[in-house]
Amino acid sequence: MNLDLNEEQKLIQETAREFAAAELAPVAAELDRGGDLEIFYANLRKLAELGFMGLNVRDEYGGSEAGVVAFSVAITELAKACASTAVTVSVNNMVCEVIQALGSEEQKRAYIPKICSGEFLAGAFALTEAGAGSDPAGMITSAVRDGDEWILNGSKLFISSAACSGVFVVWAVTDPQAPKGKGISVFLVEQGTPGLVIGKAERKMGQHASSTNEVLLQDCRIPGHALMGTINDGFRTAVTELSGGRIGIGSLGLGIGLAAMDVATRYTLERAQFGKKISEFQAIQWKIADRYTELEAARLLLMQAAFRKEQGRSFAKETSMAKVFATEVANRACYDAMQMLGGYGYTGDYPVERYARDARITTIYEGTSEIQRLIIARAILGEFS
C-alpha cells in the first residue's frame, strides 16, 4: 500500500501551503477581529484563479480534476492559516460536486464555472432549519408547483457564505403527504432572486470572516428548470452527496489542530522554567507525543476516506469515522496547546486562542459528533446482520 502523495497532489499541497503562509496567515487575526472583508474576498478570488474551488470537478466545467485526496490536503494547509477561508473553499467545492453529480447539463454549465472561476465568490447549501438540524428529514420549507414555476416558502438557518454566495442549493418539501424523509427535492436558487432574503448574521464564537446567516424564502419564485435531480428524491441525495463534505471539515480540523500544536511546540523550546526549557519536562513531552500521534491517525483516516471516494467505492462510514476523530482530536490539540503556552495561550498575543475558537464548531457542523457515531454504529451493525 502506497501512502505517499503523487506529484500532482504534492504540488497542490505545496501551493496551498505557500499561499496560506503568504496571503492568509498575515491577515487571519485581523479578519477574526472584524477586519475588512474585501481582503477575505480577494483571497477567495486568488484561490479560484489557482484552481482550488473545483479540485474534484471535471475540466469541462472549469474544475481542476485533481481528486478528493488533493482536496483534503489543500483544505488542511489552508486551515493552518485561516479556518474561515478553508471552510469557504470546502463548501464551494462541495456545492460544485453536488451540481456536477445531480444537475442537468445546462445547470452544470451555468453555475459550476462561475464558482470555480471566482465570478461567484461562493456557493451555499440551504438545508438546516430551526426544527431540522441533525434531523434534516424534518424540514418544513415547501416548494409548490405553479405552472412553469416553483414557489418556495420557509427559512433556513446557519447557512455558510450566505452573504456572498452566488447560488444556493436549497432543499424543500415537494410532497407533504409522503413519509418522512421522502417527498423532498433540491433546487438551485440564484442570489438576488425576488423572495430570497438574507437574514441576520450570526454572532459566532469563531471563524468570524466566514458569514453565517439565516436565509428566508418568502414566496420565492424560481423557474421549473431550477429543480435539480429527480423530484422527491432530495433527501437521499443530501445524505449521499453531503457525506463527502465531512472530508473537508475533518481536513479543516486537522489543519487547525496541527497549527495549534506547531505554535505550542516551538514555544516549549523557547520557554524556560525551573532552570530548563519546558520541552524537557515529561508532562509537556507527553502532550506533544499524544496529540501529534492522534493528528497523524486523523490524517490517515482522512486519506482513507478520500481515497475510497476518489475510487468510487463506498465511503459514508469512513468519512464519518474520519470526521468525528479528526475534529475531536483538533479540539484536544488546541486545548493542550493553550495549556502548554500557559497564560499566553489565553491571550491574543498568540494565535492559539483563535485556533481553539475556530476548532470548536468542527464537531458540530456537517453533522455533529453524535450523529457521526450513529452513522458509524449503524454501518457496523449492518455489516454484522
212 SS3 class: strand
Cell for 55? 479540485
Residue of 370, 297, 284 lying closest to 330 (CA atoms)? 297
Q: Where are the alpha helices (DSSP H) in the chain?
A: 7-19, 25-32, 37-49, 68-81, 83-102, 105-117, 234-242, 245-268, 282-310, 316-341, 352-360, 369-384
Distance CA(344)–CA(37), nearest Å, equals 28
202 SS3 class: coil
- 165-173 and 149-160 as β-strands: parallel, antiparallel, unpaired? unpaired
- 212-223 and 196-201 as β-strands: parallel, antiparallel, unpaired? antiparallel
Query: What string of H, E and C letters represents the secondary structure of 112-175?
Result: HHHHHHCCCCEEEEECCECCECCCHHHCCCEEEEECCEEEEEEEEEEEECHHHEEEEEEEEECC
CB 84 within 8 A of CB 210: yes
Q: Which of 14, 318, 366, 383 is catalytic?
A: 366
CB 250 within 8 A of CB 319: yes
Residue 77 a catalytic site member: no
Distance CA(75)–CA(217), nearest Å, equals 31
CB 275 within 8 A of CB 173: no
Catalytic residue numbers read 366
